Structure 1
Amino acid sequence: MKTIKSIIGGATLLLAAGTAALAARTDLVVGIVLEPPHLDPTASAAAAIDEILYANLFQGLTRIGRNGEVLPALAESWEVSDDGRTYTFKLRSGVTFHDGTTFDAEDVKFTLDRARAEDSINAQKQLFSAIDTVEAVDPATVKITLSAPQGSFLYNLGWGDAVIVAPESAETNKENPIGTGPFKFDRWAKGSSVTLVKNPDYWGEPAALEKAEFRVVPDAAAAIPALLSGDVQAFPQMPAGDALIQIESDPRFVVAIGATEGETILSTNNGREPFSNIKVRQAIAHALNREEIIAGNGSGYGTPIGSHFSPANEAYVDLTGTYPYDPAKAKALLAEAGYPDGFKATLKLPPPPYARDGGQVVASQLRQVGIELEIIPVEWAQWLEQVFKNKDYDLTIVSHTEPNDINIYGRDDYYFNYKNPAFKEVMNALEATADPEKRIELYQTAQKIIAQDAVNGFMFQLPKIGVWDAKLEGMWENSPIQANDLTDVRWTD
């Protein structure tokens, strides 16, 4: 009998130990659709970089919170001069980069001067255009003087493109990123995953997770079995396809349909014929059936938009009626533009389902009015090189996930090739205005200008379809910025 008791007692101990181990889980595998081209958020427009590294590994003076608010980050506080041109930041003390080097005011000066330099490769260089001087007053104080007041300055500093980097490691961040965040870089298995581990020397509240692996899972065919088997425990933006209904009924998972800043558009090369003709662009706008595109975009979710602005923003104007779906009107406009029999063009589609699946629907709709599209699938790196950088395209479909980024329509060298002095005037006024009501008015004017000009085919706001293990807490339901912030994520019992 003594032997039996010992065995039973041992089994009880083993069961208790197993339960404790499950309760204490500290690793997480996060599924992402796109692999980043590299790991430096200050050197690329690719959202996939920020989705892994923003707030987790790299930090800025400020940061954007889960509700879109501006929060302190490496700057613990700041003061603004009465004329709105001088910002004095008090930096946090005791902060070090992951390689052990000290963070101080010189790193801030280096980062901002580098981002706004003439030879800067920062994809959002425009964010820093209002900066006149950056002064390291002392190791814990930075004074930034603007050439004119900028109402969005603190918000701009919270973008991933404005994270602080050290001169010692800036040139090697593409392969070996060094930041100040709660996680540090462990390894990049190219084509597969990026792994971060807990930073034991973090200046703030330590992360609950010891390790986070961001695994590339490009489509529903791979995502569904990975989720159901437990190989991947969280998809902040899941390519679920038709299987979402099945997942929603499974109590093991949380399904959160949230909002993003992702304006999904039929991007148009306004500098290339025949798209330089506004009647052609108006014809395309009338040929697009938004509801049908949303139904076939890979998820079936999305909010119709008529301009480049998020419906979640208080300044949003519903302009979907500017060019309502009207194939007959589209054909008439093409005839007026000199294309009574239509024309042929190319449609380059990057990997996400909203582009590949939605592109098939768009091509079908344009075919009905006489526009024959050759669909060209491209990988994300090819899209960045051919379309975004070299403007070698007719049409493409992409979701612009940067926050409040309507200002891109005022950039001379942007890949849309759109030029409108009146729009630029509105953007200049917006930059100089801090009054909230006036800013809303200017944002609404800007929306109306690009809607009337049919710069792009404005289709829908990309939904955030988050799916994760029901025992996880702290995941973001919405995406006010292109990030998967894991700083507050933890496993519950």
Structure 2
Amino acid sequence: MSGKRVLVALMIGLAGVASGCGQGGGTAAAPQGTAGAKAGVLHVLASIDLEHLDPARNYVTSSMDVGRLIYRTLTTNAAAPGPAGGEIVPDLATDLGTPTDGARTWTFTLKEGVKFEDGRPITSKDIKYGVERTFAPEFPEGPPYARMWLRGGDTYKGPLNGEGLKSIETPDDRTIVFRLNRPVADFGSAVSMPFFAPVPKDKEAGVAYDNRPFSSGPYKIEKFEPKKRIELVRNEHWDRSTDTVRKGLPDRIVIDLNLDPAVIDQRMIAGQGEDANAVQFEPIGAASVAQVLTNPALKERLVTGESINTRFLSLNTSRKPLDQVKVRQAIAYALDKEALRTVRGGPIAGDIATALLPPAIPGHRKEDPYPADVAKAKALLAEAGFASGIDLVLDAPATPGGKAQGEAIQASLGRAGIRVKINEISSSAFWSTVGNASQQHDLVIDGWTPDWTGASTYLPNVLDGRFIVKQGNQNRAHYDSTEVNKRFDEIAAMTDAAAAATAYGELATRIMRDAPVVPFLWDKSAFLTGGNVTGAYGHVAFVGRVDLATVGLKSAR
């Protein structure tokens, strides 16, 4: 997720995302200024919940955005709008790592002077422990890279039983060495994931660590009421001279959760009182788009954000009748993508997705294998033996945006004789629920943001059948093709990045012949900020959401 992000992590259907207008009618090329008062209280108005803040479990873009305020990783995304935000830069590490042994061994050196919130130095052992704990069965939600790449990762069960992972070495307090089971040319990007954040062993609290991760970033948690509010205050031991990404400007950041999205829109449009110091975490809703775009004063406070996220409908190929390719292809032809974009805000929400890889990802191919065709969908169902139609259950977030998308899917598939029942799931539990093989149903409103800009953290993460697991599953199509899995390995072994990108593009075309997912939108984002806010821009790593690490206030009022 994504992821990412990916990543990464990803974020879907919890509210509309939008684009099309830069602040003042311009583009997203520059944030709202770069300076601000080093004081004041920044308010963040969110219509969603934070699924996980524990870095071992944090693999949803919204939570990763907040997590970047609390903890640092070996590397991280640059603090920049547009494509520049996709660049990976050093964070706790002095550089992007040194590969040896044909990129099977990676060595990182920590910066001097980096500290935890209690003033103790951050050491390589803290990084090692943070990675090791992601193997514990208690934390199944994170990305798969450690299990995939670290030697011995396929059998390691985490440090909670007292054992360390031998393939992570710490020869001294500032040096950490990772020994991999295969070459990974972009491992320096992989260590930007939250699970490469340091965790002191004496602060281990199991699943309870989710509520109070120990800070290595500019802010620490003062108060956290899950599903309601999180309040962050300064980590006085964070040293800005060691951090080229985070600005650490506000004295306090207050994030209100699970607010009514329509109420958020109206509060941000009014921009009064403390809302002058606020940013909108989720993009403006479809019902507010016209009001914002026709008001010059509001357009001055509208910020756009680019994204490398593709939203898609996952079809659970392990369930009948979705195990039949003609049935899946029928769904792909029947899905009304324009209707889905409309309920998300119309053209401002992004571009209709016709392929798996978005245009910003190297390897993207301009193609549309399943143009809207209800008659073709009906014919394919009949050929599969379902002339009278089929009945399916759709998993959707229990939010206004999730419900609207679910109803759009229900209506469009219904025209082809595909009867859909909507199963609404709390936004705070959505990803953990659909990631549980025993709880997922036939269809999932889904999506994926690569953990860094490239197909290597997109296609394998969501479509490699060998990564299907009972819990924390990212392959919600349950797609498992021997031919495709083999090709993933062949591409991973390529040393020529351009050739690998081309191969991923070709493989994406091949995968879509099986229609395990139906892409419908390439996201963009637009959100409002308060009149006293500065430094706000949408970040590609967070599906175009505001990069909270850079926001400040013009004055500490």
- TM-score, normalization: structure 1? 0.88
1:129 is paired with a residue whose SS is: helix
Which residue of the partner structure matches residue 240 of structure 1?
285
- Pick which of 207-216 and 363-372 moved more: 207-216
Which residue of the partner structure matches residue 76 of structure 1?
94
C-alpha deviations, 1:141-178, integer Å up to 9, x for none? 11222222112211111123433322222434211111
- Pick which of 61-70 and 410-419 moved more: 410-419
- 1:69 to partner: Cα distance: 0.6
1:398 is paired with a residue whose SS is: strand
Q: How has the CA–CA distance of structure 1 residues 479 and 44 changed in structure 2, closer, same or farther, with 3 Å as cutoff?
A: same
| 1:188 equivalent among 224, 234, 237 | 224
Aligned-partner Cα distance in 2 for 1:173–1:295 = 40
For 1:236-385, what aligned pairs fall within 5 Å after superposition? 236-248=281-293, 249-251=295-297, 253-298=300-345, 300=347, 301-319=349-367, 321-385=368-432
2:524 is paired with a residue whose SS is: strand
Does residue 429 of the first structure (1) align with residue 490 of the second (2)?
A: yes
| 2:176 equivalent among 128, 135, 142 | 142
User: Cα RMSD over matched residues?
Assistant: 2.4
Q: Which amino acid aligns with 2:352?
A: P
Which residue of the partner structure matches residue 11 of structure 1?
none
Does residue 406 of the first structure (1) align with residue 462 of the second (2)?
A: no
Aligned-partner Cα distance in 1 for 2:492–2:240 = 33
Aligned-partner Cα distance in 2 for 1:391–1:276 = 18
Q: How has the CA–CA distance of structure 1 residues 41 and 139 changed in structure 2, closer, same or farther, with 3 Å as cutoff?
A: closer
Runs (5+) with no aligned partner, structure 1 = 1-21
Q: Is the 8 A contact 2:533 2:551 kept in 1?
A: yes
Q: Which has the higher contact order (CA 8 A, sep 6+)?
A: 2
Q: Which amino acid aligns with 2:194?
A: G
- Pick which of 172-181 and 37-46 moved more: 37-46
Aligned-partner Cα distance in 2 for 1:219–1:276 = 38
| 2:70 equivalent among 53, 57, 82 | 57
- 1:278 to partner: Cα distance: 0.6
- 1:246 to partner: Cα distance: 2.0
Aligned-partner Cα distance in 2 for 1:23–1:392 = 47
Which residue of the partner structure matches residue 7 of structure 1?
none
Does residue 415 of the first structure (1) align with residue 415 of the second (2)?
A: no
- 1:425 to partner: Cα distance: 2.1
- Pick which of 151-160 and 468-477 moved more: 468-477
- Pick which of 44-53 and 132-141 moved more: 44-53
Runs of 4+ in 1 over 6 A off after TM superposition: none
- Pick which of 277-286 and 211-220 moved more: 211-220
Q: Is the 8 A contact 1:234 1:468 kept in 2?
A: yes
Q: How has the CA–CA distance of structure 1 residues 121 and 386 changed in structure 2, closer, same or farther, with 3 Å as cutoff?
A: closer
- 1:116 to partner: Cα distance: 4.4
Runs (5+) with no aligned partner, structure 2 = 1-35, 152-166, 242-246, 452-456, 470-474
Percent identical pairs in the alignment equals 22
Q: How has the CA–CA distance of structure 1 residues 246 and 118 changed in structure 2, closer, same or farther, with 3 Å as cutoff?
A: closer
Q: How has the CA–CA distance of structure 1 residues 454 and 391 changed in structure 2, closer, same or farther, with 3 Å as cutoff?
A: farther
1:123 is paired with a residue whose SS is: coil
1:135 is paired with a residue whose SS is: strand
Q: How has the CA–CA distance of structure 1 residues 385 and 83 changed in structure 2, closer, same or farther, with 3 Å as cutoff?
A: closer
- Where is the strand percentage greater, Structure 1 or Structure 2? 1
Q: How has the CA–CA distance of structure 1 residues 127 and 281 changed in structure 2, closer, same or farther, with 3 Å as cutoff?
A: farther
Aligned-partner Cα distance in 2 for 1:484–1:402 = 18
Q: Is the 8 A contact 2:390 2:418 kept in 1?
A: yes
- 1:222 to partner: Cα distance: 1.4
C-alpha deviations, 1:230-271, integer Å up to 9, x for none? 344211432422212323425255212322233211121110
Which residue of the partner structure matches residue 159 of structure 1?
193
Q: How has the CA–CA distance of structure 1 residues 288 and 273 changed in structure 2, closer, same or farther, with 3 Å as cutoff?
A: same
Q: Which amino acid aligns with 1:350?
A: P
Q: Is the 8 A contact 1:63 1:159 kept in 2?
A: yes
Which residue of the partner structure matches residue 210 of structure 1?
251
C-alpha deviations, 1:354-398, integer Å up to 9, x for none? 432122111111110001111222212443343221343111213
- Pick which of 376-385 and 276-285 moved more: 376-385
Counting matched residue pairs gives 470
- TM-score, normalization: structure 2? 0.79
